[in-house]
Amino acid sequence: MTDRDTIAAIATAAGAGGVGIVRLSGPRARAIGEAVTARALRPRHAHHARFLDAAGEAIDDGIALYFAAPASYTGEDVVELQGHGGTAVLQVLLARCRELGARLARPGEFSERAFLEGRLDLAQAEAVADLVAAGDARAARAARRALDGEFSQRVEAIAAELLAIRVHVEAAIDFADEPLDTLGGAALRARLAATGDALDALLARAEHGRRLRDGLHAVIVGPPNAGKSSLLNALAGSDRAIVTDIAGTTRDLLHEVVRIDGVELSLVDTAGLRDGGDAIEREGMRRAHAELQRADLAIIVLDARDPAGGRTAVADAIAGVPQRVWVHNKADLLAAGEPASPAGNDGAPDATPGASDEPPLRLSALSGVGLDALHARLKALAAGDDIGEGTGAFTARSRHVDTLRQAAVELAAARAQLSHESLDLAAEALRAAHDALGEITGRVRADDLLGHIFSSFCVGK
C-alpha cells in the first residue's frame, strides 16, 4: 500500500548486545536506508556499509539489508540496519531515520502491517508475540506451530465445511414446502455432526494450547489450618504466605508463579473454607470460590489425620473445576506404624470423591516428605500429558478458546434447529458459528480487537 507512512523501531532487545538492529518498513524504507548508507541497496543482498548522520559522520558501521515488497515480513519495503548493539548508538541511528522521514513504530505495528498485507493471519500474528514471549522451549515450539499456520488451517477447514453446510441450508430454505429429508437432510445432519466433532477436538487442543501459553492455573483450597499456605511456600521455595497456627490466617488471594522442571504453573493460595468466620474471612472465602470458577486445577489440601472432615467443606467449591489433585497434608503427625508411603492412597474407601481423580498424595508441607510426588503430578498436568506431545500442540489464547466455544454453542443450536426443521433459525446459528471462526484468523474482524491485540506486542515486532 502506498498511502502508508514509513515506520522505524529498534528491533533488538534493550541493553548492550553483540548486534543491534533498526528496522524500517514502508514506502520510504529504501530511500531512508540508502540515505543513511550513502549507497544503492539491492534486494536480499548484505551490504557492508557505514551508517552516516546528517553531517556525513559515521554513527556506526554494519550490514544493511533490503527486502523489496511484497517479499518481506510486512509485505512492504523493509530495510534492516544491523549495527553494533548498544542503546546509545541505536538511538542515534533511529533518530537519523526519523529525520529522514520515518515515524516511530507502535508496539506490534510491523506484525499488524504483515496482517493487513495478508502476509500473516491474525492467529499467526499473535503467535509471533507468543514466540517472543515463550517462557520455555515447549511453549516456543507450540507458538512456532501456530505461526506456521497449523492452528489457522484447522480453523479454516472447519469454516470451509460450515460454509458448504450453510449453502445447503440456505438453498433448502427456498424449498420450504418440501420436507428436509427429500433435500438431502440426513446427509446434511451427518455432515453437521462430523463438523461439530472436529470443532470439539480443536477446542480441546486450543484449551491445551492456552495452558501452554498462560501456564496451568491452579488454586489451593481446603479447610482452615490444613496447611494450604505452607504448601504454597513449599512449592514456591520461599516464605511467600503467612503461616500461623491460627485458623483463618489467610484472607486474601495470594498469587505466585512457580516453575517445576521448566514448566510454569500459576498458583493461588486462598482462605480456608468453613462455616462462619468474621466479615473479612467470609470475603476471603467468597474470593476463593470466585477464583475456583476460573481454575484449571484445584489442589485440595486436607489434614491427613482427618481428611473426611475437610472434604465436606470444599465439596461445593470444587464442583466444576476440570481437574483436581487431593493432598493429605501433615503426614508427619500421623501415628508411627501407619503406612507412610508418600504417594499412597490412605486406604479410606471414600478417599477420592471424584471417580476420575487420582488417589490422594500423602505428604508433609513442613518437612517436605512426599513433595516429589506432588511435583511430578503437577508437572504432568501442566505439561498437558493428557494430550501428548505427539499431536503437536500449538499455542492458543483465551480469545481463541472463547471464540471456539461460542462457535460450538452455535453449532449445537444449529443441529437442534435442523432436527426441528427450523431452517431459518439453523441458518442463522450457522452464520454465527461461521463468523466466530472468522474472528480467529481475522477474516471477520472488529478493528478494536486489532488494536487490542497488536498493542500488547513489543516495539519492533
Counting every residue written for the chain, the total comes to 461
Nearest CB to ligand GTP, comparing residues 226 and 423: 226
Q: Taking the C-alpha atoms of 53, 57, 59 and 65 in order, what is their torsion angle to the nearest 10 degrees? A: 70
Residue 245 near ligand GTP by CB under 6 A:
yes
7-10 vs 19-25, strand pairing mode:
antiparallel
Do 128 and 145 contact (CB within 8 A), yes or no? no
Residue 233 near Mg ion by CB under 5 A:
no
Stretch that binds ligand GTP, among 4-12, 191-199, 363-371, 405-413 (CB under 6 A): 363-371
Residue 250 near Mg ion by CB under 5 A:
yes
Stretch that binds K ion, among 241-249, 276-284, 331-339, 415-423 (CB under 5 A): 241-249
CB atoms within 10 A of CB 335: 6
Least separation in angstroms between residue 351's CB and ligand GTP is 18
Residue 417 near K ion by CB under 5 A:
no
* Number of residues engaging K ion in binding (CB under 5 A): 2
Least separation in angstroms between residue 309's CB and K ion is 16
The β-bridge partners of 324 are 298
* 367 annotated binding-site participant: no
Residue 37 near Mg ion by CB under 5 A:
no
Residue 328 near ligand GTP by CB under 6 A:
no
The three three-digit cell numbers of residue 242, written as one number: 503467612
* 119 annotated binding-site participant: yes
Which of 170, 236, 249, 415 is close enough to bind K ion by CB under 5 A? 249
Residue 307 near ligand GTP by CB under 6 A:
no
Listed as own residue / partner, the contacts of 253-261 with beta carbons closer than 8 Å and 24 or more positions apart are: 253/284, 253/287, 253/288, 253/291, 254/229, 256/232, 257/215, 260/375, 260/378, 260/379, 260/382, 261/375, 261/379
Residue 250 near ligand GTP by CB under 6 A:
yes
Nearest CB to K ion, comparing residues 37 and 329: 329
The three three-digit cell numbers of residue 90, written as one number: 541505536
Among positions 150-169, residues that touch ligand GTP (CB under 6 A) are none
Provide the b/e sequence for 225-257 (b: ≥16 CB within 10 Å): bbbbbbbbbbbbeeebbebeeeebbbbeebebe
Distance CA 69, CA 183 (A): 49
Least separation in angstroms between residue 302's CB and ligand GTP is 10
Residue 329 near ligand GTP by CB under 6 A:
yes
AA identity, residue 359 = P
Which of 37, 225, 395, 417 is close enough to bind ligand GTP by CB under 6 A? 225
Residue 249 near ligand GTP by CB under 6 A:
yes
The residues near 244 (Cβ < 8 Å, ≥ 6 apart) are: none
Sheet holding 297-303, edge to edge: 254-260, 263-269, 216-221, 297-303, 323-329, 361-362
The closest residue (CB) to ligand GTP is 272
**Closest residue by Cα to residue 139 from 255, 258, 264:** 264
Distance CA 147, CA 126 (A): 8
**Closest residue by Cα to residue 91 from 5, 14, 6:** 14
**Residue 12 in 3-state DSSP?**
coil
Residue 270 near Mg ion by CB under 5 A:
no
Nearest CB to Mg ion, comparing residues 91 and 249: 249
Nearest CB to ligand GTP, comparing residues 215 and 248: 248
CB atoms within 10 A of CB 392: 12
The three three-digit cell numbers of residue 248, written as one number: 483463618
Residue 221 near ligand GTP by CB under 6 A:
no
Nearest CB to Mg ion, comparing residues 213 and 228: 228
Which of 6, 195, 229, 403 is close enough to bind Mg ion by CB under 5 A? 229
State the chain's maximal CA–CA distance in angstroms. Answer: 86
Q: Is the peptide bond before 70 cis (omega within 30 degrees of 0)?
A: yes
* Number of residues engaging Mg ion in binding (CB under 5 A): 4
Nearest CB to Mg ion, comparing residues 227 and 460: 227
Residue 243 near ligand GTP by CB under 6 A:
yes
Among positions 206-235, residues that touch K ion (CB under 5 A) are 225
Residue 187 near ligand GTP by CB under 6 A:
no
Least separation in angstroms between residue 376's CB and ligand GTP is 18
* 272 annotated binding-site participant: yes
Residue 365 near ligand GTP by CB under 6 A:
yes
**Closest residue by Cα to residue 67 from 53, 52, 77:** 77
Binding residues for K(+), by number, are 225, 244, 246, 249
User: Which residues of the shown chain bind ligand GTP in the complex (CB under 6 A)?
Assistant: 222, 224-230, 243-245, 247-250, 271-272, 329-330, 332-333, 364-366
Binding residues for GTP, by number, are 225-230, 244-250, 269-272, 329-332
User: Which residues of the shown chain bind Mg ion in the complex (CB under 5 A)?
Assistant: 228-229, 249-250
User: Which residues of the shown chain bind K ion in the complex (CB under 5 A)?
Assistant: 225, 249
